[in-house]
Homo-oligomer: A and B are copies of this chain.
């Protein structure tokens, strides 16, 4: 939202829950609307009133274990939600770009020699979360037309400030911030540190969303193109924070299905959209850590 306002776009932002006062959207010059995407009537009413040129659809369940626990809930948020919103756009009938944030998780199975994954890699989702994202991509296919351009983004792992601390790097950053403020003992609890993932700063990703909505069509990977081991991310975070901590493996943080190495190719986004990443890993990790310091000091 901040990026859109900065570029001069007129923004109507939808919220489901009340936003905490530290939320990055506070003070922004945007129109605010309450919306539950699971309500078809509410989506139709809003789209009819706002008549948007572009819809950035980011609402959804984003945490893999949550979708494993309740598939129907994941389908309601991630599939029916998308269907309600794009159906509303389709019914209102105004020319519109519809951007949907899917996930690199939809690729599922691959062989090491197929890395980096590009957009033509077959989709074979292996958990309820990625199933729901791949299903939502199919829903878009139903409504795409000459006047309703659809764009699907498959981002790889996100990092940066204001991330939910159920995600690995934000969890590390929060724990380090708590240790530095003596809010906890100096033990940092971690899951699998050996996995290698492809991390992109959320601020680079949102710039890509706008480029894709204006210039793109079809599917785009958003990623750095490089795999970094989680243990390396932790090292860099500790460096940025200057906090001394003991590392302890917590079995409850280990996921059932672990893919050892995953990274993608964003060549299509670079070529067609001119998109590239501006933030270094060190900057992203520093800002993630600073975010938690700011939150904890409130």
Contacts and interface: CB of A to CB of B under 8 A. Distances in A.
A89 interface: no
A131 B257 CA distance: 27
Interface string A125-140: 1111001001100110
Interface in A3-27: none
A131 B139 contact: yes
Contact of A124 (B71, B80, B134, B141): B141
B76 A80 contact: no
Contacts of A126: 142
10 contacts: A71-B80, A72-B72, A72-B80, A75-B76, A75-B79, A75-B80, A126-B142, A127-B142, A131-B138, A135-B135
A131 B87 CA distance: 14
A55 to B, nearest CB: 19
Query: Lowest 8 CB-CB distances: which A-B pairs, in order?
Result: A135-B135, A75-B75, A72-B80, A71-B80, A126-B142, A72-B76, A71-B83, A124-B141
A128 B80 CA distance: 10
B135 A142 contact: no
A135 B128 CA distance: 11
A128 B143 CA distance: 11
Contact of A72 (B75, B125, B127, B135): B75
Given A108-B142, A125-B141, 9 more contacts: A71-B79, A72-B72, A72-B75, A75-B75, A124-B141, A125-B142, A127-B142, A131-B135, A131-B138
Contacts of A138: 125, 131, 134-135
A134 B139 CA distance: 11
Contacts of A135: 79, 131, 135, 138
Interface in A101-152: 108, 124-128, 131, 134-135, 138-139, 141-142
A46 B126 CA distance: 24
